């Protein structure tokens, strides 16, 4: 395992574990998955993963409970990260919700407490007042944000009056917007970009194609998995596979290695089984050559998926059972 070279109370592994999948029906992994989830966590700890990411909204608290129970006595050794859904994130509410999350996780301090998304109506100084008190009493270690643009991340930091260590954003070979501003800022300021959906929810594994799309509500709602986009992505997957073959690795590992090349990025892939998590952890040790990185970046740029409003008709057809459009 490799770690972020920053002064943090506990080391931050370059590969963490995302736990939205735990206790959440929308991934479609079924009731037996809870037992596997615990095994995934145990194996991750064995392999040196130190960052475990949850949120109060995942499975309406079940993800936090499953994660906390699976970590057990290892909780103090790792970075337990969770998120508040900022519906009314005034100071008193932020404090109450942190206490509830800590109880579900079974910790006396949340190592990284993140604001899940910017609230369009409540300013950050209100939310950060609650965060500051939580830090002062020791219930929260580091504060983070999620889905924040650069400007608002900086505003949040000014409001907290301390570092807002991380910004958790969608970042994968398909979603490279963080490379424009968040990554340069993180590097210059000594902050961390936490890459969520780093495999584009499995698109980059190369396991799916137009005839074999994934199941489950999450990915039915993701336009990348429209048959047309899976077809358009074939050339990109080919390039990823070529690089993977040269490293005796899998496409998912190369997709992660692409992100981890940046020193201030850590990725938190989710996993549907222990073996996936093992492979993801091993991706931290892959070094891409410059020409491989360039080839991947170029192939990623050439991929033009149908998204946004243009994807709506096909999304509706897929949703209501007529994916061919005929
Ligand atoms: N802050 C936010 O707003 C936000 C939003 C989304 C996610 N997140 C966090 O980020 C984490 C990861 O994002 P995500 O779950 O959306 O997407 P992801 O990590 O890109 O994709 C996870 C899925 O990819 C497949 N996979 C994982 N490892 C694999 C491997 N080695 N080989 C082949 N397939 C593999 C698995 O699905 P199959 O095996 O079923 O194909 C797995 O469920 C979440 O768990 C959550 O903690 C945060």
Please name the residue that has the structure tokens 């992660």.
256
Q: d(Cα 43, Cα 25) in Å, to the nearest integer?
A: 23
Q: Which residues contact 100 (CB under 8 A, 6 or more apart)?
A: 56, 61
What 3-state DSSP class applies to 95?
Answer: helix
Ligand 1 nearest atom to the CA of residue 117, by list position: 3
| Dist. CA 270 → ligand 1 center (Å) | 4
Tokens matching residue 74 = 């290892």
Which residues, listed in sequence order, are joined to residue 170 by a DSSP beta bridge? 196
256 within 8 A of 198, measured Cβ to Cβ: yes
Q: d(Cα 13, Cα 20) in Å, to the nearest integer?
A: 19
Instruction: Tell me the per-residue pLDDT of 90-132, one tens digit each, with 9 for 90 and over.
Output: 899 999 999 999 999 999 999 999 999 999 999 999 999 999 9
Q: Is 197 left (phi over 0), alpha (psi -120 to 50) or beta?
A: left
pLDDT at 326: 40
Q: Give the residue, out of 170, 203, 270, with the most ligand 1 atoms within 8 A of its beta carbon, to mutate for a pocket test.
A: 270
Instruction: Tell me the per-residue pLDDT of 19-77, one tens digit each, with 9 for 90 and over.
Output: 999 988 899 998 889 999 999 999 999 999 999 999 999 999 999 999 999 999 999 99
Instruction: Tell me the per-residue pLDDT of 144-189, one tens digit each, with 9 for 90 and over.
Output: 999 999 999 999 999 999 999 999 999 999 999 999 999 999 999 9
Instruction: Tell me the per-residue pLDDT of 294-322, one tens digit each, with 9 for 90 and over.
Output: 999 999 999 999 887 777 777 777 766 65
| Dist. CA 34 → ligand 1 center (Å) | 16
φ/ψ of 181, rounded to 5, equals: -135, -40
Q: For strands 164-170 and 51-53, give the pairing.
A: unpaired
Please name the residue that has the structure tokens 């991340």.
153
Read off the pTM: 0.96
Concatenated DSSP letters for 167-178?
Answer: EEEE-SSS--GG
| Dist. CA 269 → ligand 1 center (Å) | 5
Q: d(Cα 236, Cα 298) in Å, to the nearest integer?
A: 9
Q: d(Cα 162, Cα 123) in Å, to the nearest integer?
A: 17
pLDDT, mean of residues 203-227: 93
Containing 157, the helix (H) or strand (E) segment is helix 150-160
């Amino acid at each position: 395992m490799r770690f972020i070279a920053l002064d943090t109370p506990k080391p931050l592994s370059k590969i963490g574990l995302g736990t939205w999948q735990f206790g959440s029906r929308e991934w479609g992994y079924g009731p037996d998955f809870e037992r596997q989830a615990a095994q995934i966590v145990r194996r991750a700890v064995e392999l040196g993963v130190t960052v475990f990411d949850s949120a109060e909204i995942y499975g309406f608290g079940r993800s936090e409970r499953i994660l906390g129970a699976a970590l057990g006595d290892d909780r103090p050794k790792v970075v337990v990260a969770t998120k508040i859904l900022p519906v009314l994130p005034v100071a008193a509410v932020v404090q109450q919700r942190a206490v509830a999350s800590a109880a579900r996780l079974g910790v006396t301090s949340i190592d990284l407490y993140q604001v899940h998304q910017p609230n369009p109506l409540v300013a950050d100084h209100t939310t950060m007042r609650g965060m500051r008190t939580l830090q002062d009493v020791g219930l929260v270690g580091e504060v983070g944000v999620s889905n924040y643009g650069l400007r608002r991340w900086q505003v949040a930091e000014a409001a907290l009056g301390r570092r807002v260590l991380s910004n958790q954003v969608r970042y994968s070979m398909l979603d490279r917007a963080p490379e424009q501003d968040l990554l340069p800022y993180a590097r210059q300021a000594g902050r961390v970009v936490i890459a969520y959906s780093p495999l584009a929810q499995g698109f980059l594994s190369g396991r799916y194609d137009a005839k074999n799309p994934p199941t489950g509500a999450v990915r039915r709602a993701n336009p990348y998995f429209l048959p047309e986009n899976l077809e358009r992505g074939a050339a990109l997957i080919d390039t990823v596979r070529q690089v993977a073959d040269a490293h005796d690795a899998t496409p998912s590992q190369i997709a992660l290695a692409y992100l981890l090349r940046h020193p201030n990025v850590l990725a938190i892939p989710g996993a549907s089984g222990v073996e996936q998590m093992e492979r993801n952890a091993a991706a931290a040790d892959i070094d891409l050559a410059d020409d491989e990185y360039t080839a991947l970046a170029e192939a990623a740029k050439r991929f033009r998926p149908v998204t946004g409003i243009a994807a709506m008709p096909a999304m509706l057809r897929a949703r209501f059972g007529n994916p061919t459009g005929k």
